[in-house]
Amino acid sequence: MTENKIYLDYAATTPVDPRVTKAMLPYFSKKFGNTMSLHSFGQEAKQALEESREMVADLMGAKPNGIIFTSSATESNNLVLKGIAFANKAKGRHIIISSIEHPCIMESAKWLETQGFEITRLKVDKYGFVNPDDVKKAIKKETILVSIIHASNEIGTIQPIEEIGKICKDYNPPTTLPAEGGAPRVYFHTDATQSFGKIPIDVNKMNIDLLSASSHKMYGPKGVGCLFVREGTKIEPILHGGGHEGGLRSSTVNVPGIVGFAEACKICKMEMKKEAQRLTKLRDKLIKGILKKIEDVHLNGNPKKRLPNNANFWFSFVEGESLVIQLDLLGIAASTGSACATVKLEPSHVLLAIGLKPQEAHGSLRLTLGRWTKEKDIDYVLKVLPGIIKKLREISPLKK
């Protein structure tokens, strides 16, 4: 094992920023009250909760009362699909998603099909883009929800969310359902887990009704997420209890985690523009270097319309898991794709959706940069990766 330690898996999770840790510490032992308690300890925690709600809302241009804190983006996504589905089933049972959503969306949709809901999975092009016209064509009078990921957690492609949101907002079905007092509302949700804190988001400008995000993808603690719910949205809770978070998410509130999430949002707002420029420069150097130094390598996703920290490739005649292991032996932490799917050792559904064959998808490598990535780290990867690929191809049964 080399002494070099280079972390290039920021899409899987991020280290907690020391500034975030500092903000959280008092709420573990000194300011430990339950936000539902009426005494001063509880009200102190309640104040921290509401101040945090304002900070998270500010990063997405939302009203604070639209922010619901959850345990994760997975919970937020489950709440959206199941909560919207069951709250609006009398109006319609049709939901539209893309074919490259995160597994928590894909699996929730699959489960809803067992409950009598119809799911349309939109195809994407070779770059992973959803065509807004396909969304428009797929909407029908029974449609109650469209859920399209903002930026792919695997290939980094950024979707035309504003345009898709406007299609949902402007949709007027040809018939009405008098029993329900009019035509069904088509809600628009986006999973912004990978994009929140990295690129600007404005839920009003982008016509977003619901948005999911996660703290640990943006240098905050694990175990905290949020869901933006636009005022007037008809949605059912999936956790029932004491009525926390406006009745949408019952459970004793994780004040330390939420305070950390809010501090992470505050830091991202201050540093986002400069950091995006820095990471884009490093990302482009990494992409150009790999494409130049190694033969039979292909970039997954759009070269430009992608997250500033994401580089994803597939290498001919190479098995991705072996590549990740070899990189780890040289001190480089990388992945083949989504951290939530790698244990299955199956080809990525995202890579298959953009047209790769199973053997090509198995040769994928995702390198994601972050706040502590330096140019020397990129130089080191470009130095050692060609040799690793050469070594793996020499022993590969795939290469004839």
DSSP 8-state assignment for residue 298: E
Q: Which residues are CB-neighbours of 319 under 8 A, at least 6 positions away? A: 362, 363, 392, 396, 398
Instruction: Answer whether 331's CB lies under 8 Å from 3's CB.
Output: yes
Residue by residue, DSSP assigns 28-91 as: HHTS---TT--SHHHHHHHHHHHHHHHHHHHHHT--GGGEEEES-HHHHHHHHHHHHHHHSTTT
- Could you please report the per-residue DSSP string of 174-219? SS-BGGGTBSPP-EEEEE-TTTBTTB---TTTTT-SEEEEEGGGTT
DSSP β-bridge partners for residue 11 = none
Q: What's the burial of 13, exposed, middle or buried (CB within 10 Å: 0-12/13-18/19+)? A: middle
Interatomic CA distance for residues 161 and 148, integer angstroms: 8
Cα–Cα distance measured from residue 83 to residue 178, given in angstroms and rounded to the nearest whole number: 23
Copy the structure tokens of residue 62: 């939302």
Q: Which of 104, 168, 265, 340 is the catalytic position?
A: 340
Q: Is 265 a catalytic residue?
A: no
Q: Which residues pair with 190 in a beta bridge?
A: 211
Torsions phi, psi for 70 (to 5 deg): -130, -175
SS3 for 97? strand
Q: Which residue has the tokens 């001919």?
A: 316
- Contact (CB, 8 A) for 275 and 269: no
146 sits in which H/E element:
strand 143-147
Give the residue numbers marked as catalytic: 340
